[in-house]
Chain A
Amino acid sequence: MADQGGSNHGIARTSRTRTEEQRQKDLERIKDYRALEDQVRHHAAKNDYSSDVFALTSKLLRLNPEYYTVWNVRRRCLISGLLSKPSPGSSPSKALPTSSPTATTTTSSADFSSSLSTETPPAPESQTTGKSGITAEDDEEQKQQTRQQDQQNDQQILQKELHFTIPLLLESPKCYWIWSYRLWILKQVIERLPVPVARNIWEEELGLTSKMLLRDQRNFHAWGYRRHVVEQLESPELEGKSLVESEFEFTTKKISQNLSNFSAWHSRSKLIPRLLDERNANDEARKAFFEEELNKIGEAINVGPDDQSLWYYHQFLMLNLVNSAEHPTIAPAFTQEERVTYLRREIESIQELLEDYDDAKLIYEALFDYTLYLCQLQGRKPNEQEEKDLKGWLGNLKKLDPMRSGRWADLERDLGLKE
């Protein structure tokens, strides 16, 4: 399975011996920790999810945010008492995107949902009509008021929960369970609060991801989290509209802060097809866009020809010229002639790079690839000069990158380039 908490990453090896005093201290801590744990478990086993138990989970999670079962106890505390009960009909009832699980689930949550249904008071509708002088209108007003109070109460609790996780996240930014809990809270926000309020809260979340990406710009999880937040902000549930322009702008900003940010380049490559569609870009605009991107990455490569991130993006652009059938492309209307011209032009300017950087293996690899792209595009085999070039570049690759000699040997064999 993929990585989890509990593994040591980047912690220097030290001697594992403790003094007797340290050992005694550890034993004390263990005793306190286990006593707290026992208390939480004791209540949970009896399906007691009161506010006292809730307070105990705060204490325990501060000691150990990896304790997923305790996060679950906390969720159960919220839905079984602290948050308002969804009154039938009033809930926007947006089905949880996580689909089926609720049906089978664990015993405890099954117990929970049955206890929920017995606790829910009988539907007030049955008593409304004209009894004891209460008009339907008054009653409606009262219901409206209760709903507002419920929402305010829920909002307070949910925002408190978001605050609760912040210091834990700062301390353990890679702890999956905190993030997972936070997203669950944010889902409750959508389900329980009026759209404008929910939207505000989710917008703040986007701000949080920006801050995280400022601290660690390649943080895989922060990028993924951001994608998710954007998706929600664009969704009809939050009455959203497309954020593709501002997200594209965000990648531009990230790249200008540091060219070597593959995550930002990647994100850019994924946004482009939508961006151009939403701009209703015509062929001319698409061509201009393609050239602008090509210039941008070309300049970056001029400075850092050893940077894999940059070459991946360059390759993404080049694939737009050859693989038009497979992927949504930037400029589908390019003529064959235009495609060939672009490829030739790139090959030439990359060759010029060799004058300054004749030991950058990625340059040789790009020349090798793009020459083959050119042949593919024209549906032909390499000509004599190209074959000579390919052999030469392969020779350089073998010399500069012996670790991957098996790959170079395969290429040589597959392309019939062996002397």
Chain B
Amino acid sequence: MQPNPIQASTHRTTHKTLKFSNMTQSFTSLPQELQLATSAHVKYIQSLDSRKDEYDYWLTEHLRLNGLYWGLTALHLLGHPEALPRAETIDFVLSCQHENGGFGAAPGHDAHMLSTVSAVQILAMVDAFDDLETRGRGKAQVGKYIASLQNRQTGTFAGDEWGEEDTRFLYGAFNALSLLGLLHLVDVDKAVDHIAACANFDGGYGVSPGAESHSGQIFTCVAALTIAGRKELIDVDRLGRWLSERQIAGGGLNGRPEKKEDVCYSWWVLSSLEMIGKTHWIDKAKLTSFILSSQDTDKGGISDRPGDMVDVWHTCFGIAGLSLLDYPGLEPVDEVYCMPKSTIKRVLGR
């Protein structure tokens, strides 16, 4: 990293143990609380922008564009892409753009890699790259902004002009640039070398050379290598094994050895397993019920684990996980981009 002291350990909570007798692969035989509460989730996501009388709404403005990406992805996967109005979505995204091409989290917020990637992903999902060209500052300028954040000596990326470097930003850059068809603006080989230097003997990847393996960082490194077409660098057997060991008794997956399970980590581990062709190394039925039991079936939304407070972040990654697990009725998700496969097909032609 710089350490990315964002998120870490204290996943205290009451973990409700749910007993499932005769869990089978057949989803229709699941009890009511283990059915996907699609309409509740749609309503929950729609309600997120109408909470302007809540203090938290204002405290989280620095995540507005990311939140829109999480919510929109969930809606697309749920088969309700129209649940947020397209024109307003595009207007909002474009209103966050700076002259230098980068996007801030909301109007008045500084440009940052994370919000810029979300902006590109949203525009890709609602098929609005043309609007970016005609009404925004254009693809080329966005590409230039992202490319300016690469450290040309080490190949890695910073989050903004001040910030520290982290493989999250490298992945974000590859994600957005490849969607824009502008990956050639950066030194891909250097970036790949940097990822290789983050590898550990257990097959995983850390946040920087020397750092211990961590599911979130593994996702960013494996996805970036996939985008770069360099998967041959991955030690598939060792990594697959480390990732499969993340599944613990409750069926959910954790981020590191001896940690608690979490819906968002479940997505990073599962999607990484998918990229290396090893999802059959975990118990998919158990993971499915773990995610489903983390829903608030009444008011909508998904939480980190059963019984906790929901948020749009876990709602997105929970639904993406279910999609990758072939839960019926969901749009297929792309494991590299965490967006609908149909979007990736339209944008990348594959």
Interface set of A (CB-CB < 8 Å, partner B)? 1-14, 16, 23, 26-27, 29-30, 33-34, 37, 41, 63-64, 66-69, 71-72, 75, 97-109, 173-176, 178-180, 183-184, 216, 218-225, 227-228, 260, 262-263, 266-267, 269-270, 307-309, 312, 315-316, 319, 327, 402-407, 410
Contact = CB atoms under 8 A, between A and B. Distances in A.
B262 A9 contact: yes
A244 to B, nearest CB: 12
Contacts of B105: 68-69
Contacts of B33: none
A69 B210 contact: no
Contacts, number: 288
Given A100-B151, A105-B100, A175-B5, A262 B210 contact: no
Nearest to B117: A1
A30 B244 contact: no
B283 to A, nearest CB: 4
Given A100-B148, A266-B200, A106 B309 contact: no
8 contacts: A9-B308, A10-B10, A12-B307, A13-B307, A99-B158, A106-B161, A174-B6, A403-B283
B7 interface: yes
Interface stretch (B34-42, B77-85, B212-220, B226-234): B212-220
B311 interface: yes
A8 B262 CA distance: 11
A3 B264 contact: yes
B247 interface: yes
Nearest to A406: B280
A3 B6 CA distance: 7
A262 B244 contact: no
Given A68-B62, A407-B281, A224 B311 contact: no
B172 interface: yes
Given A8-B310, A224-B4, A309 B258 contact: yes
Contact of B283 (A270, A309, A402): A402
Nearest to A316: B201
Contact of B62 (A67, A270, A312, A405): A67
Nearest to B306: A13
A406 B268 CA distance: 19
Nearest to A37: B58
A225 B8 CA distance: 13
B103 to A, nearest CB: 11
A405 B282 CA distance: 8
B105 to A, nearest CB: 8
B110 A327 contact: no
Given A108-B110, A407-B278, 15 more contacts: A4-B313, A6-B313, A26-B54, A26-B55, A29-B55, A104-B161, A176-B6, A180-B164, A218-B259, A221-B4, A222-B5, A223-B3, A269-B201, A404-B282, A406-B281
B53 A26 contact: yes
Contact of A100 (B10, B55, B152, B172): B152
A242 to B, nearest CB: 15
Contacts of B98: 106-107
A18 B13 CA distance: 23
B256 A220 contact: yes
B341 interface: no
Contacts of B58: 30, 33-34, 37
A402 B99 CA distance: 55
Interface string B99-134: 110101100111110100110000000000000000
Contacts of A106: 98, 100, 102, 110-111, 160-161
Contacts of B55: 26, 29-30, 33
Nearest to A229: B3
A72 B110 contact: yes
Contacts of A222: 3, 5
Contacts of A98: 151, 158, 161-165
Most chain-B CB neighbours within 10 Å: which of A14, A220, A222, A270? A220
Contacts of B206: 224
Contacts of B161: 98, 101-102, 104-106, 109
Nearest to A230: B210
Nearest to B313: A7
A8 B150 CA distance: 31
Nearest to A95: B153
Contacts of A176: 4-7
Contacts of A67: 61-62
A312 B212 CA distance: 12
B282 A406 contact: yes
Contact of A270 (B8, B10, B11, B210): B210
B118 to A, nearest CB: 8
A384 to B, nearest CB: 25
